[in-house]
Chains A and B, each alone.
Chain A
Amino acid sequence: MKLAYWMYAGPAHIGTLRVASSFKNVHAVMHAPLGDDYFNVMRSMLERERDFTPVTASIVDRHVLARGSQEKVANNTNRKDEEQRPDLIVLTPTCTSSILQEDLQNFADRASISSMSDVILADVNYYRVNELQAADRTLEQIIRHYLTKAIGEGTLNRSITDTPSANIIGIFTLGSHNQHDCRELKRLLQGLGILINQIIPEGGSLRDLIDLPRAWSNIIPYREVGLMTANFLEKEFGMPYVSITPVGLLDTAEFIGQIEKYINIWAPVLLQGKVNYESYVINQTKFVSQAAWFSKSIDCQNLTGKEAVVSGDATHASSITKILVKEMGIRVRCSGTYCRHDNEWFNEQVQGLCDEVLVTEDHTEVGDATARIEPSAIFGTQMERHTGKRINIPCGVIPSPVHIQNFPLGYRPFLGYEGTNQIADSVYNSFNPGMEDYLPDVFGGHDTKEVVTKLLSNEKDLEWTTESQLELSKIPGFVRGKIKKNTEMFAKQNNISIITIDVMYAAKEGLSS
Chain B
Amino acid sequence: MKLAYWMYAGPAHIGTLRIASSFNNVHAIMHAPLGDDYFNVMRSMLERDRHFTPVTASIVDRHVLARGSQEKVINNIIKKDKEEKPDLVVLTPTCTSSILQEDLQNFVQRASIETTSDVILADVNHYRVNELQASDRTLAQIVAFYINKINNKQKSDLKKTVKPSVNIIGMLSLGFHHQHDLVDLKRMFNDLDIEINQVIPDNASIQDLYNLPKAWFNCIPYREAGLSTAQLLADKFNMPYVDIAPMGLSNIKTFVCRIQSILAMLGCHRNYEKYVELQTKYMSQAAWFSRSIDCQNLTDKTAIVFGDATHAAAMTKILVREMGVHVLWSGTYCINDRQWFTSEVENLCSKVLITDDHNIVGDMIANSEPNAIFGTQMERHIGKRLNIPCGVISSPVHIQNFPLSYKPFLGYEGTNQIADLIYNSFTLGMEDHLLDLFGGHDTIDAVTNTLSSDNLVTWSPEALQELTKIPGFVRGKVKRNTEKFAIAQGYHVISLEVMYEAKENVKT
Real complex partners, A and B? no
> Which B positions have Cβ atoms within 8 angstroms of A?
none
> Which A positions have Cβ atoms within 8 angstroms of B?
none
